[in-house]
Chain A
Amino acid sequence: MISVNSISKKFGRQEVLKDFTLSFDKGNSYAIMGPNGSGKTTLIKSILGMVLPDSGEILVKGRSIKGKEDYRKDVGYMPQIGRYPQNMKIGQLFSMMKDMRPEIREYDLDLVEAFELEKIKEKTMGTLSGGTTQKVSAALAFLFNPEVLVLDEPTAGLDPIAAETLKSKIRKEREAGKLILITSHILSDLEELTNQAIYIFEGEVFFNDSIESLKEMTSEEKFSPAIAKLMQWTLKKKSTTKVLTHA
């Protein structure tokens, strides 16, 4: 579905992605992990076309995304912190997003209904709480029934009930055969929602396999300790490396 072929990206002198290669397949849900500054955000943004790699290419459904925007019809993106025009009403935001995909006529309104957004569609974005804004972001990501979902810290800021609603929606879509990419610092969420784990360290793929084999490899039964072990390994491997910086 998506293949990332040896992309490199430098921000100034800092090499964020080094000859990075990965592929994501349909029907799987990937947990993308790594310390701050490891390059996971850059990877996601590259796939979304927001960051342009210095070299290498990214293929979606076998076609390079360079200079293209059409493929994003099939991608639903939920940003970590959604910021929207202050004076726009929720209803207008939805119609704008719909306007950008005129050929899609059938909308997935599960989350809109679950979060009862219809009731507050006259409210302007500037007056919403952080949690409600996240609900809007989530509902927009799923609205067009996309084949790929990119979710950046999806449950952060949501109240527990809303978080559960969202998680069950994610599970539902995964079962429906969607490709789902999730970054999160909440490991329990990742364990619940994903079947593949990708650990990025200093711009390189450090681990990429199913969660089962991760547990096997680290000989841990639970997800969190397995990840913790993975992190220790990275530190051993690069005992001489610089202190990890915050992006």
Chain B
Amino acid sequence: MLKLLKYALYDILKSRFAIIYTVFLALVAISIYQVSDDLSKVSLSLMNIMIMVVPLISAVFATTHFYNNLEFVELMLAQPVKRSQVFLSQLLAVILMLSLSILIGFGLPMLLWGADSSLITLLAVGMILSAVFTGFAFLASVMTRDKAKAIGISLALWIYFSLVYDGFVLYIIYSFADYPLEKATLGLVMLNPVDLGRILMLMQLDISALMGYTGAFFKQFFSSGIGMLVILMVLSIWLVVPIGLSGRIFKKKDF
């Protein structure tokens, strides 16, 4: 497994995409640092990149990568290695590459010009969302034999989670505005990994506003470690379930 991962990683880290992506992130981070007067403005601007652009690029790249590597995967499957190992090595290589790009592209400017806890949270959120959307992309890829269709599914998932879903939640709470909806909203937000990443950031940037909720429940949830723990747990479900599902399909898939 580690051997397969080593070679898969070696290949993907030298790809033109990895370099372009890292440079792109670094340029974005550098320009944001240049125009912002303080760290909180930096994290606000970077946050939009992290929760919008990073999932999009992760989803599209992971899908494309899966299909571009399909013949090689077939060759691997003809070798004496377990299917699950082939699958995981491919998946982990993509996740590690995307995470490393974020870590270098955003991390180096942070080392140079400073970071606060919200920026460090942001790095983590970016890496988690990359992993989650890679999982989605692999699921889409193993579900269909058609590359265009798989990219379509990945894009649809991205649009759904970063835009449509929030609109849907907003519509619901608008329609039921007369009821106490705080807990329901929190529950609904749990059903979207992008929102979870965003809430982790809100807990850094807007804790004062979040504390405006009525009740000890929210005070506990947002200000103690409990909320973060719950969110990370739900995020790991969002990570593990699509990956597990696509792994199962991959195991039974014909190549």
> Interface on A for B, CB 8 Å cutoff?
9, 11, 45, 48-52, 69-73, 75, 77, 79, 81-88, 92, 96-97, 99-101, 150
A-B contact pairs, 28 of them (CB 8 A): A45-B254, A45-B255, A48-B77, A48-B78, A49-B78, A50-B74, A50-B254, A69-B82, A70-B80, A72-B78, A79-B71, A81-B71, A82-B75, A85-B12, A85-B69, A86-B11, A86-B15, A87-B11, A87-B14, A87-B15, A88-B10, A88-B11, A99-B7, A100-B3, A100-B4, A100-B79, A100-B81, A101-B79
In the complex formed, the residue of A with least CB distance to B74 is A50
Distance, CA A83 to CA B255, complexed state (A): 14
B residues 1-21 near A (Cβ < 8 Å) are 3-4, 7-8, 10-12, 14-15
**Chain B contacts for A75, CB-based, 8 A:** 78
**Chain B contacts for A97, CB-based, 8 A:** 79
Distance, CA A88 to CA B93, complexed state (A): 14
Find the residue from B4, B69, B75, B82 having the highest chain A CB count within 10 A.
Answer: B75
What's the minimum C-beta distance from B154 to chain A, rounded to whole angstroms? Answer: 22
**Chain A contacts for B80, CB-based, 8 A:** 69-73, 100-101
What's the minimum C-beta distance from B207 to chain A, rounded to whole angstroms? Answer: 44
Q: Using known A-B contacts A87-B11, A88-B11, A100-B3, determine if residue A52 contacts B252 with beta carbons closer than 8 Å.
A: yes
* 6 closest residue pairs by CB, A with B: A83-B71, A85-B11, A87-B14, A77-B78, A51-B254, A72-B80
Contact in complex: A85, B72 (CB < 8 Å): yes
Contact in complex: A92, B10 (CB < 8 Å): yes
Distance, CA A82 to CA B79, complexed state (A): 14
**Chain A contacts for B7, CB-based, 8 A:** 85, 88, 92, 96, 99
What's the minimum C-beta distance from B63 to chain A, rounded to whole angstroms? Answer: 17
**Chain B contacts for A84, CB-based, 8 A:** 72, 75
Contact in complex: A99, B3 (CB < 8 Å): yes
What's the minimum C-beta distance from A91 to chain B, rounded to whole angstroms? Answer: 12
What's the minimum C-beta distance from A40 to chain B, rounded to whole angstroms? Answer: 15
In the complex formed, the residue of A with least CB distance to B70 is A83
Distance, CA A73 to CA B80, complexed state (A): 5
Distance, CA A99 to CA B11, complexed state (A): 16
Partner of A50, one of B3, B8, B10, B77: B77
